[in-house]
């Protein structure tokens, strides 16, 4: 069996997501590391270069995990997903230099024809 350090080496939020899922779902045995990793991968794709708090990432990943396990979403789950999506959409971008920006614009130099 893997230690929590080995699991966190795969993804820093994996242990927390597994604990949250096993604590809130009726059938703990359905929750596997593979499904949780898949949900976290989808969360990373949604976040993509944005500075998003971990609790928002976990909310999004938890809903994705439930969908992978074919568990119907409650009103609370739908509300969490909508709030997470809105927070991700409004989160600042992290540029390559590590600077944050509310918007990222592509700037081109104008060429003047004489």
**pLDDT given at position 101:** 54
Q: Which residue has the higher pLDDT, 73 or 100?
A: 73
| Sequence-ordered list of residues with C-beta below 8 angstroms from that of 40, at least 6 positions apart, any chain | 11, 13, 14, 17, 61
Phi, psi (rounded to 5 degrees) for 10: -75, -45
What local confidence, expressed as pLDDT, does residue 111 receive?
59
List pLDDT tens digits, range 24-74.
Answer: 888 888 889 999 999 999 999 999 889 999 999 999 999 999 999 998 899
pLDDT at 44: 93
Give the sign of the dihedral formed by CA 108, CA 91, CA 63, CA 79.
negative
Record the pTM: 0.73
Distance of CA 16 to CAs 8, 39, 106, Å?
Answer: 9, 13, 37
- How many angstroms separate the Cα of 107 from the Cα of each of 45, 84, 102, 103, 104? 25, 30, 15, 12, 9
Coil, helix or strand for 26? Answer: coil
Of 39, 38, 60, nearest in space to 50 by CA? 60
């Amino acid at each position: 069996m893997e230690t929590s350090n080995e699991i966190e080496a795969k993804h820093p939020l994996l242990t927390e997501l597994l604990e949250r899922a096993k604590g809130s779902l009726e059938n703990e045995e359905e929750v596997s590391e593979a499904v949780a990793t898949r949900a976290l991968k989808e969360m990373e794709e949604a976040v993509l270069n944005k500075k998003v708090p971990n609790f928002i990432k976990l909310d999004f990943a938890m809903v994705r995990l439930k969908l992978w396990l074919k568990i119907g979403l409650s009103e609370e789950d739908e509300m969490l997903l909508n709030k997470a999506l809105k927070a991700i959409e409004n989160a600042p971008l992290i540029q390559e230099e590590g600077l944050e920006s509310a918007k990222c614009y592509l700037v081109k130099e104008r060429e003047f024809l004489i």
